[in-house]
Amino acid sequence: MPFTSRKWKLLAVVACFAVLAGLRLGWGGIVHHGDPVARNGVLDLRSWSPGWNASLPLNGEWTFYPGRYVQPGETSPNADARAIRVPGPWDGVFGSPYGYGTYRLEIRLPDNPEHGERKYAIRVSIVRTSSVLFVNGQRVGGSGVPGLTREETTPFVRPYVADFVINGDRAEVLIQAANFHYGSKGGIFDKISFGTYEAIERKNMLQIGQNALLMGLFLISGIFFLMLFLFRRHKRELLYFSLFFWMSLLFFLTHNERLLFWAFPNMNYQLQIKLQVMPTAVLFPILYAFVRWMYPQHARPWMTKFAIAGMFVLLAVDAFTPASVSARSEGILAVFDIVLIGVIVYLLMREFVRNTPDSVYSLIAVFCILIEGVFQGLFYLGVDAVQGLPPIEKIVFVLDMAFVIAKRFFAEVGEVETLSKRLLVADRLKNDFLASTSHEIRLPLHGMINIAQVMMNEENLGERDTERLSLLLATGRRLSHLLNDMLDLSKLNEGVLALESRPIDLRVLVSGVADVMRYLNAGRSVRFINRVDPSVLPATADEHRLMQVMFHLFHYAVKWGARGDVVVTAAMAGESRFVEVTVSAQGGKAEAGDAEATAADSAADFSLEMSRKLLGLHGSELAVMEMGTEAGADPVLAMVFRLPAGREEPAEVATAALPQWEEAVSGERDPAEGVWRHAVPDAPRVLLVDDDPVSLRFMFDTLVQEKLDVTAMTDGQEALRLIETEGGWDLIVLEAMLPYLSGYDLCRKIRERHTFYDLPVLFVTASMQPAYLLVGFDAGANDYVTKPFKAPEFLARTRILLRMKQSIRERLDIEMALIQAQIKPHFLYNTLNTIASLSEIDPDRTRDLLADFGSYLQSSFDLRNLDRKVPFDQEWKLVQSYLNIEKARFGSRIQLTVSLPDSVSLSLPPLTIQPIVENALRHGVLKRVEGGRVHIEIKEAAGYVRISVRDNGVGIPPTKKASILEGTYRSGIGLVNVDRRLKNAYGHGLSIESLEGEGTEVSFRIPLPQGREETA
């Protein structure tokens, strides 16, 4: 049978607790084995050899003088003395626990060869209810004040340690004690320890430390389980377990070391006794309640009634009777506790017999309770041997029950996690169903809408067909909106629709929504008027959700039958703590003949429901009022809601939110208010327009990091002025909803002068509703990006539009370059002038120049230039002709050196070297008045030929060198064109090395055919 079986577990538990019980029974004999015992009032320690603990209990027969206080050094008649067992009560001497007397013990100490002083100590635990300790005639300690009567006695019971010095080999110990206040077991009730000062002090500190450690454990556990109960109030066992710890804490504070009485030494003795009795009376009923809630299936009603009734009776006796009376109820309390222990053991054993997963733990709890109860009872019966071991049973019981609670808790957590996973799966399936269903419906729906739109655009449609197609389009568009609203409504019902609230300019937001509604309701007689006062404070709301609310309210007004104007107003309310928004319309319910309204009548109520839920997320309510007017007049519709007012942010605040660039970053402030620039020479220029300082700051910083020339502003009208007065913009980024001039209107005005390709426009919007995007594209936008921003998406869309603009520019430049390469009127004109001038003074040079000019023209117009590669000789012939012509024109200003191998046999793209040489002349040496030197070198290396053109001209500034090959430097496309053709042919292009003021070297490599060896 495996060890993990129930039988072996049971045997292991029984064996462990049997060992523990035997250890506790024999602990006194183990620790104090061989210790001397007092006989006839004398304790002979002359043969005592202090062991590892150097202390021993003063147990045995003391001499007792009942009814008399023997003074130190006094010789009493033997007739007054009698032997009494210590520890033990004196009730048998007086016939009751009340009385007073003197305990005397003579201690004969081991010989002291050095005849010096030896320091000893005595630890007194419990002497009821007052005592004074004398050693060799000196008072060394005490607790309370013993007297001859109740009135003269001051009761106080607490452990204390007394140290003293003994010169000889004898010590007389006298304890004067009196008890007139406690009604049970008077006299020395607990053992008295004697030993060296160090041993007694160590033992005392260990006792106090052990008590403090247990109390700390109980305190922390009580707080912990109480907090657990506050989170899980249906788990009543957590509350009772917490109360069990609190009562155990109070028990240890008032028993054993009685630390509570040390902390409050002036506490009334009656209160001390009541505080001692209270945890004793409550502890086991609470323990029963805990077990009853842990295993409720085994409890019976009479058990609970018995526990509650007994507890309240004992508490009432403790609270309303003197200590002398309540002490006499110790027997009743013991019987009550024994019965409750039996009930608790019964419940735990029932659980064990059921063979449940917790059965072993219930058996451990049974043994813990039985051993603790039995040995506590033996202690109060005077069996001293059971004391001394730490309360292992209490600790094991606490850990055992805590483990059961933790096990159940984690089992419940596991079950909850399993159910949560199932719920999440079901929820995901539902969402997937909604998403897939809406997607599957949306695709054919949009197909129907598109087909209907195409048919609407056809000519020769009859009025009836036009009306039917209009109905089909309107219904289809509305159904498309309903599909989106279904998904939002699902999120609203689940409470997973999160808000991103911030101050919103209502005037700007309403203007944007009105633009969309005008687009969607083109052809209707309804106008959407924005009369929001600019002085109204911003409203704190989620911009996208508030746009949805306004869209639904506008839509409801149209379906309601509004004719004329749908007006939006806003005013401060609630002592300027709220912004009250009103959407009003005049008209009436749609007539039955209005086909579109009839088809979508139920959608109007849905719009109100969505608006109410979205406003509910903002903590607001929607009030819809339909008011009648005078007879014959149209009714008036008013929809009102409130939003919290945000703090006022005037233009100065928004401007201040923009980055304060230092001059080192090339930032400067434009004289126009609210315009900020970051200038980068020869970089693409981007204009940002957004009234939200946070969004504007993000876009500004992001594009500055891209090393772009960026201008940012918050005003649409000012942006239009800047676009009209300054040219050279490469990209405009617009917020759809701008104050004064909306982004839609601004884009329309841009398109009046600039095409889609001439000036790209990127729209920024908080809504992904198709209607808003359609309005933006209809206004002339190239692309859009939604808020909140995602930096990678924003950068990707910006880069695409900038590359599109750059590609168009390059295409135009290349076309112009091809024309110039074929015609070059300025070059022809200058060359002919040079030939004409030389013809009169130097005919020989004229003939040579004409030959070079003819060779140049022949090479330029050679059809082989259309080939991907040409022989080197052809390219070199063009270079030589060009250089000869330029040298004839500029004379000594051009100095040329050439380094060529004896033979060059390779092919390369046409017009490759000549543009580089021309660039070296035009932008290098000829920029100097004195001219300069151009060196052309062709050198073969391992596997390639390196061709370089080096000049000592003005050089290239570092800021422009990288931009030349990137195509962002606008001084020409010659090198860019050569670089790209080389990369297409060989995978690598031009290499430029330049020092400003010293010269430039442009080089490239032509791979040699495989198998060819170096020739130079």
pLDDT of res. 53: 64
Taking Cα atoms as reference points, which of 963, 946, 959, 927 lies closest to residue 1001?
A: 946
pLDDT of res. 733: 92
What confidence tens digit (pLDDT) does each residue in 153-189 have? 999 888 899 999 988 888 899 999 999 988 888 899 8
958 has a pLDDT exceeding 60: yes
pLDDT of res. 14: 65
Question: What is the CATH T-level fold of the domain 503-590+600-644, as seen in this structure?
Answer: Heat Shock Protein 90 (3.30.565)
For residue 665, give both structure tokens: 């970053």
For residue 869, give both structure tokens: 């590669």
For residue 381, give both structure tokens: 């019966």
Query: In whole angstroms, what is the distance from residue 822 CA to residue 860 CA?
Result: 7
822 has a pLDDT exceeding 50: no
513 has a pLDDT exceeding 70: yes
Question: What is the CATH T-level fold of the domain 402-497, as seen in this structure?
Answer: Methane Monooxygenase Hydroxylase; Chain G, domain 1 (1.20.58)
Instruction: Note whether 364 and 399 are within 8 A (CB).
Output: no
Instruction: List Cα–Cα distances, 424 to 428, 439, 848, in angstroms.
Output: 6, 21, 90
Q: How confident is the model at residue 139 (pLDDT cuts 50, 70, 90)?
A: very high
| CA of residue 958 relative to chain centroid, distance | 45
**Which of 26-30, 104-108, 470-474, 779-783 has the least mean pLDDT?**
26-30
Q: What is the mean pLDDT of residues 956-973?
A: 66
Task: State the residue for tokens 């004289």.
Answer: 671
Burial class of 54 by CB neighbour count within 10 A (0 to 12, 13 to 18, 19+): middle
Q: What is the 8-class DSSP label of residue 569?
A: E
Give me the count of residues in the chain.
1016
Percent of the chain with pLDDT over 90: 8
Query: In whole angstroms, what is the distance from residue 307 CA to residue 288 CA?
Result: 8
Neighbours of 611 (CB within 10 A): 23
Q: How confident is the model at residue 874 (pLDDT cuts 50, 70, 90)?
A: confident
461 has a pLDDT exceeding 60: yes
Q: What is the 8-class DSSP label of residue 5?
A: S
Percent of the chain with pLDDT over 70: 75
pLDDT of res. 176: 93
23 has a pLDDT exceeding 50: yes
pLDDT of res. 821: 54
pTM of the model: 0.48
pLDDT of res. 591: 43
865 has a pLDDT exceeding 90: no
> Higher pLDDT residue, 705 or 391?
705
Q: How confident is the model at residue 321 (pLDDT cuts 50, 70, 90)?
A: confident
Q: What is the CATH number of domain 675-819?
A: 3.40.50.2300
- Strand 761-765 vs strand 118-124: parallel, antiparallel, or unpaired? unpaired
Q: What is the mean pLDDT of residues 865-890?
A: 75
Tell me which of 1.10.287.1770, 3.65.10.10, 3.40.50.720, 3.30.565.10 is the CATH number of domain 822-1007.
3.30.565.10
Instruction: List Cα–Cα distances, 81 to 65, 69, 75, 103, 887, in angstroms.
Output: 5, 12, 11, 10, 145
pLDDT of res. 738: 79
- Strand 578-587 vs strand 636-644: parallel, antiparallel, or unpaired? antiparallel
Residue 503, classed as helix, strand or coil, is strand
pLDDT of res. 671: 40
The upper half-sphere exposure of residue 827, i.e. CA atoms within 13 Å in the direction of its Cβ, equals 16
What confidence tens digit (pLDDT) does each residue in 75-86 have? 655 667 889 999
Q: What is the mean pLDDT of residues 238-262?
A: 85
pLDDT of res. 123: 92
Q: What is the mean pLDDT of residues 796-824?
A: 67
pLDDT of res. 2: 47
Neighbours of 61 (CB within 10 A): 18
pLDDT of res. 687: 92
Look at phi and psi of residue 727 and say left if phi exceeds 0, alpha if psi is from -120 to 50, else beta: beta
CATH 3.30.565.10 range(s) for the chain read: 503-590+600-644, 822-1007
603 has a pLDDT exceeding 90: no
What is the end-to-end Cα distance of the chain in Å, rounded? 92
Instruction: Note whether 688 and 703 are within 8 A (CB).
Output: yes
Instruction: Note whether 974 and 1002 are within 8 A (CB).
Output: no
Average confidence score pLDDT of the chain: 77
**CA-based radius of gyration for the chain:** 52
Burial class of 558 by CB neighbour count within 10 A (0 to 12, 13 to 18, 19+): buried
Amino acid at 59: N
Hey, which of 104-118, 419-433, 543-557 has the most confident mean pLDDT?
A: 543-557
Residue 400, classed as helix, strand or coil, is helix
Q: What is the 8-class DSSP label of residue 96?
A: S
Question: What is the CATH T-level fold of the domain 37-206, as seen in this structure?
Answer: Jelly Rolls (2.60.120)
469 has a pLDDT exceeding 70: yes
Neighbours of 721 (CB within 10 A): 12
Hey, which of 49-53, 577-581, 750-754 has the most confident mean pLDDT?
A: 577-581
Q: How confident is the model at residue 853 (pLDDT cuts 50, 70, 90)?
A: low
pLDDT of res. 173: 92
pLDDT of res. 231: 86
Neighbours of 296 (CB within 10 A): 11
